[in-house]
Amino acid sequence: MRLLQQIRTLQDFGFELEETRPFVECLRSGHPAGDSCPASVAVYRRKLGELDTLIGELSAVPAARAGAR
């Protein structure tokens, strides 16, 4: 049940199914939380980097629109 809940939560936050694998493996290895293993933390960091990039791109849109007028 915990594994399925972890996968669903991560997918709700935009993680692809393959990206959930480190969290599932962490739980299966006996850790109380799927995000307490280095591989899981690496996925979090990569995802945060993707979000930072997207935020930067979206932040530039109003400036680009203002310059186009």
- Please tell me the total count of domains within the chain: 1
Q: What is the pLDDT of residues 18-68, one digit of tens each?
A: 999 999 999 999 998 888 899 999 999 999 999 999 999 999 888 767 766
- Annotate 21-47 with b (16+ C-beta within 10 A) or e (fewer): ebbbebbeeeeeebbebeebeebeeeb
C-alpha to C-alpha distance for 62 and 69, rounded to whole angstroms: 11
Q: Which domain holds residue 64?
A: 2-68
* pTM exceeds cut of 0.85: no
CA dist., res. 35 & res. 31, Å (int): 9
